[in-house]
Amino acid sequence: MNTPTNSTKQLVQPNEPIQISRLLITKISILKDTPSVVYQVPFELSTTPNRAWKEALMSNWASISKLRFRALKTIIWVYHNRVLINNVSIELFQEDLEKMLSSAIEMTNTQMGRKQKHAI
């Protein structure tokens, strides 16, 4: 027989928000097959995100990069606990790139938090 209790159980455990751990300076690459100087810039994340989070980050990156720099044609990949930003021009400073990625990650964490609350 089932007995009612006063406690509630949470079915979905909240995840810690994902953050940038560090910029992987030793792994920055110069792409030589282009007419101008562009770079690949990798960042390490605090944990490995799930597929939905990765897709949301890529979408948020596209909107943030278009808002800040209309001509910015960067491409972002997320794999394991790494983010690789490709086609970074020499004019885009490291601080700007980190701020943009932090903003995209923050937006993504907020979106995933809302989705998680709706699932509960």
Question: pLDDT by residue (tens digit) across 79-120?
Answer: 989 999 888 887 777 788 888 899 999 999 999 988 776 655
Question: pLDDT by residue (tens digit) across 39-77?
Answer: 888 999 999 999 999 999 999 998 888 877 666 778 899
Domain at 20-119: CATH code: 3.30.300
Answer with the residue of higher pLDDT: 25 or 3: 25
By C-alpha distance, which of 61, 112, 110 is closest to 83? 61
- Identify whether the C-beta of residue 16 lies closer than 8 Å to the C-beta of residue 47: yes
By C-alpha distance, which of 45, 42, 44 is closest to 17? 45
Q: Report the pLDDT averaged over residues 31-35.
A: 69
The pLDDT score that the predictor gives to residue 117 is: 67
The pLDDT score that the predictor gives to residue 27 is: 76
Q: What is the reported pTM?
A: 0.74
CB-based contacts of 16-19 (< 8 A; 24+ apart in sequence)? 16/46, 16/47, 17/109, 17/113, 18/45, 18/46, 18/47, 18/49, 18/53, 18/105, 18/108, 18/109, 19/45, 19/46, 19/102, 19/105
